[in-house]
Amino acid sequence: MEEALVVVVTKSTQLIDMGCSWRLTCLHTKKCFYSEFFGGEMSWMPVCKLSAISDGEHLALNVEGKAVGIFMIEGQLHAIEDICPHAYALLSEGFVEGRTVECPLHEAIFDIPTGKLQSGPGCRDLNTYEVRVEGDDVLLHMA
Ligand code: FES
């Protein structure tokens, strides 16, 4: 017997097809549900427009309550957790040099593409997130 999923889309919800997955958003609470909660495989989330970021720049985003920094280095997008594990400074307010970011508070240095702590009191490596571009949409894999 096949299982069936019934999704009720009302005036207060919005169903967004993201290609490999979909997202259901409550327009009142802004709460989102993703297909993985219902057995899907992916949890790619559109987080910003590609046109909003240029090479050598970065953006600070709040993605489902997580602070995420998106950096474009030599044409490649990279996403890392934006809060320094040492004392919670915003790394997106730090100093970017090449492929590293220096924490603005106590100068820990992290490699942006890998999240690896390179020096200083950063405590641990940063979480990184996979990034994908579809048209002008930048998507993050948040699983
Ligand atoms: S807050 Fe980043 S090194 Fe201390």
pLDDT in tens, 58-89: 999 999 889 999 999 999 999 999 999 999 99
pTM comes to 0.73
The CATH 2.102.10.10 portion of the chain extends over 47-141
What's residue 126's pLDDT?
97
How far is Cα 105 from Cα 65, in angstroms, rounded to an integer?
22
Residue nearest to atom 4 of ligand 1 (CA): 106
Q: For 16-25, write each residue's pLDDT tens digit.
A: 555 445 555 5
Task: Report, as an integer, the average pLDDT of 111-122.
Answer: 97
Instruction: Give the CATH architecture of domain 47-141.
Output: 3-layer Sandwich (2.102)
* Ligand 1 mean position, distance from CA 108 (Å): 6
The backbone torsions φ and ψ at residue 3, rounded to the nearest 5 degrees and listed phi first, read -90, 150
Question: Could you identify the atom of ligand 1 that is nearest to the CA of residue 87?
Answer: 1
Q: For 1-55, write each residue's pLDDT tens digit.
A: 555 555 556 666 666 555 445 555 556 655 555 554 444 445 888 999 999 999 9
> Which residues lie below 8 Å from residue 84, measured CB to CB, with a gap of 6+?
90, 91, 94, 103, 105, 106, 108, 122
The number of beta carbons lying within 10 Å of the beta carbon of residue 20 is: 14
Q: Which residues pair with 64 in a beta bridge?
A: none
Task: Report, as an integer, the average pLDDT of 118-136.
Answer: 96
Instruction: Measure CA of the first residue to CA of the last residue in the chain; give whole Å.
Output: 29
Binding site membership of 106 for ligand 1 (Cβ less than 6 Å): yes
Whether the pLDDT of residue 114 is over 60: the answer is yes
